[in-house]
Chain A
Amino acid sequence: MKRRKFLGGIGAVGTASALSAPALLSTLSRASAQGSDIPVGLLFSLTGSVAVVESTLHDAALMAIEEINAAGGVHGRQLRPIIEDPASDPATYADRSRRLMIRDKCVSVFGSYTSASRQAVLPVTEQRKNLYWYPTLYEGRECSRNVMYGGAVPNQQQDELIPWAIENFGPRFYMIGNNYVYPKEENNYCKTLLAKHGGEVVHEEYVPLGHSDFSSVINRIRAEEPDVIFGTVVGDSDVAFARQYHAAELDPAKMPTISLTRSEVEVKAIGGEAAAGHLSSAPYFMGTQTPENERFVESYKSRYGGDQVTHFVSEAAYFQVYQFKAALEKLDPANITPEAIRDAAVGLTMAAPQGEVLIDENLHTHLWPKIGQWQSNGQAEVVLQSQERVAPLPYAAYEGQRCTGQGLVQG
């Protein structure tokens, strides 16, 4: 794995630097849509290790674009999707986003699943004063004026979850995550909540990304007997963890895994039997009962196959395109620039599959947190639904820092 990434990296760095030279010369021509159609970039990996998830985001975003076009477009103009495949490599994300924003003059780019790829695109979109729509839940602690964050930040996933989990299962938390920034920031915030609500951490550990043998972890869990396993394990590691947990016959009724990252995609691979009884915290589950979601799930399935699932990231990838459209509609068709789109998008409400969402002035999204319990049919049953929409606080774990409409404010 390392070997391939390394070689892929060399190739990508080569092309990236080759393209950045002309980019410096053409800073005068900013992206603005003036032709007959409106170019938008889609930057999701269709190959490589992240493709498993990102291809579903690509599908959802593309579906939204085509639905909008079929309904007549925006101000009578069609959205023209320009598709790039960054092949799961952060350097290629930077390169391809540059290409979309400069050569193709996209007024917005939709893309990314991992934080690493978002951070690779960040300097590009800020330098080009473009707009990058990022649909994934992430660890917060970022406040760009050129990224639209559609997923949950820690306070939206945890504020209701932690007191509820302490009350229903007990105060002793075992934290298991992959060894990178997202799990560490989430656990960091979780610890402040545990301190506030009288919980404790019995063990905190991080396994390498892609780790697949959890027998030691399971032995430790068996010895510690925590009340809750707080999981931020991602992708294939999470699948392996859940299957081995089930094979070890540990009881989810006594020691459930409450995951911030497990969605319908992982559960499908884990198998309903092994996933049943465990919980996830997310603003959206495939079984969410709203008319918008019924429509979303139905058109997704009829388009991509009846065995396909929608999940909390593909939902955001879908509704962000509609937010983009709603912002465009507020603008003068002759003057469509990324910054005008951003300013028009702030304060916008929209009926998304999860419920009515709102774009905050800090460009994150007000969402409807839910806690779902997985059933043996691979779907989640919502056991706790937030009574009100929760505002995004990307710096919730950092006192004295706030992300506002003017960017990051200290004190």
Chain B
Amino acid sequence: MDVILNQLFAGLSMASILLIIALGLAIIYGAMGVINLAHGEFVMLGAYAAWAMQTHAGFSIIVALPFVFVAVGAVGWIIERVIVQRLYHRPLDTILATWGIGIVLQQLVRLSVGAESRFVKGPEMLSGNTQIGGLFMSNYRIFLIAFSLAVLMATWALLTRTEFGMKLRAVIQNRQISECYGIEAKHVYSITFAYGAGLAGIAGALITPLFSTVPTMGTGLVVDAFLVVIVGGLGSLIGTAAASALIGEATALFSLLMNDTLGRIAVLAGIIVLIRFRPRGLFPSNTGR
């Protein structure tokens, strides 16, 4: 019984990491339709920003989070302005362009910071475990679960409770008509892209105490992020959250029944079957696209 409880918590923890990584992509890909293959590199930039702030300014990663958000968001904003904005009517070319951006970012970090794995210290106050009976929960992982839910709520509020969110939803539904009503679609897209990139940056900063910080860390993560968004359904935040939970728990349970390698295969096979029957994901949104 304890084994199953522990494994359920492990699944929840994996789900929270997936959610926080995929949320930025859910905005960029889900809302704007840009297949952003550089998403993993935004995560990586966030990790390195956290590392830089810890090494050079002595910030704990929690303190560094707002700065990381702004810094990576700014990078995203520049990239949107300079490259992605010119390609909205050529969706296939954005794949190539963002892939190229990803490689450039990766190599820039490699050249400037170095290829070796960097050490980022986790926050002191979140070290240790909380134990309930036979259930062991790492405090940092509990924090990640809570934080990812908070970011989800904040994003949901931004989209539904603010004027900016209303404009964004209008642009998503029909860009031309929104522009007729005086919404500056270009501007809205830039901010949205920057917000998505900033979220990816936060994700990168938050996973540094658990993962290895290297220039190539984003390449594996972007695959996970796309899986979550596709399973969840384009443009649906609820879908993203549900898909993260589903994939995290499924990975944990398959890994309990078999092992991590076979578990991963089983999850991917399950996703293929799911997409066969629900090609638009679990919670498809009813936008015009």
Contact = CB atoms under 8 A, between A and B. Distances in A.
Chains A and B belong together in one complex:
yes
Nearest to B217: A236
Contacts of B223: 1-2
Nearest to A273: B121
Nearest to B131: A249
A1 to B, nearest CB: 4
Given A236-B117, A269-B118, A217 B260 contact: yes
A274 to B, nearest CB: 9
A216 B13 CA distance: 11
Contact of A179 (B17, B115, B140, B261): B261
A2 B37 CA distance: 13
B115 A55 contact: yes
Nearest to A54: B115
A269 B119 contact: yes
Nearest to B119: A271
B10 A216 contact: yes
Most A CB atoms within 10 A — which of B3, B212, B251?
Answer: B212
Contacts of B263: 216
Interface stretch (B122-130, B163-171, B176-184, B238-246): B122-130
Contact of B216 (A1, A179, A216): A1
B6 A212 contact: no
A270 interface: yes
**Interface-centre pick from A55, A179, A269 (highest chain B CB count, 10 A):** A269
A269 B14 CA distance: 22
B220 A247 contact: no
Interface in B1-38: 2-3, 6-7, 9-10, 13-14, 17
A269 B260 contact: no
A216 B136 contact: no
Nearest to B6: A219
Contact of A248 (B3, B138, B256, B261): B138
B214 interface: yes
Interface string A1-30: 110100000000000000000000000000
Contacts of B187: none
A52 B129 contact: no
A240 B212 contact: yes
A52 B219 contact: no
A215 B13 contact: yes
A265 B212 CA distance: 12
A271 B212 CA distance: 11
Contacts of B216: 1, 49
B252 interface: yes
A159 interface: no
Given A219-B6, A248-B136, A4 B119 contact: no
Contacts of B117: 52, 236, 239, 265-266, 268-269
Q: Is the interface of A mostly helix, strand, loop or mixed?
A: helix
B213 interface: yes
User: B interface, by DSSP: helix, strand, loop or mixed?
Assistant: helix
Contacts of A270: 119
Interface string A347-363: 00000000000000000
Interface in A211-254: 211-213, 215-219, 222-223, 235-237, 239-240, 243-244, 247-249
Nearest to A243: B210
B55 to A, nearest CB: 11
Interface centre among B115, B129, B209, B219 (most CB of A within 10 A): B115
A240 B220 CA distance: 14
Contacts of A213: 14, 17, 210
B259 interface: yes
A403 B264 CA distance: 38
Contact of A212 (B140, B211, B256): B211
Nearest to A239: B212
A270 B214 CA distance: 12
- The residue among A1, A211, A215 with the most chain B CB atoms within 10 A of its own CB is A215
Contacts of B103: 4
A208 interface: yes
Interface in B242-273: 251-252, 255-256, 259-261, 263-264
Given A210-B220, A215-B10, A269 B212 contact: yes
Contacts of A239: 117, 211-212
B210 A244 contact: yes
Contacts of A248: 129, 136, 138
Contacts of A266: 117
Contacts of A179: 261
A9 to B, nearest CB: 15
B129 A249 contact: yes
B220 A216 contact: no
B136 A240 contact: no
A243 B13 contact: no
B227 to A, nearest CB: 13
Contact of B209 (A52, A215, A222, A243): A243
A216 B264 contact: no
Nearest to A223: B3
A240 B211 contact: yes
B226 to A, nearest CB: 11
A386 B203 CA distance: 46
Given A208-B260, A248-B138, A271-B121, A52 B214 contact: yes
Interface of B: 2-3, 6-7, 9-10, 13-14, 17, 103, 107, 110, 115-119, 121-122, 127-129, 136, 138, 140-141, 209-214, 216-217, 219-220, 223, 251-252, 255-256, 259-261, 263-264
Given A215-B252, A240-B212, 17 more contacts: A1-B219, A52-B115, A55-B115, A206-B261, A208-B260, A211-B260, A212-B212, A212-B220, A216-B252, A216-B256, A222-B136, A243-B212, A248-B138, A269-B117, A269-B118, A270-B119, A271-B121
20 contacts: A49-B216, A205-B259, A206-B260, A212-B220, A213-B210, A215-B9, A215-B14, A216-B251, A216-B260, A219-B7, A223-B2, A236-B211, A239-B212, A240-B211, A247-B122, A247-B140, A247-B141, A247-B210, A269-B212, A270-B119
Closest 6 pairs between A and B when the two form their complex, measured CB to CB: A269-B117, A215-B10, A239-B212, A236-B212, A216-B255, A1-B219
Interface of A: 1-2, 4, 47, 49, 51-52, 55, 179, 205-208, 210-213, 215-219, 222-223, 235-237, 239-240, 243-244, 247-249, 265-266, 268-271
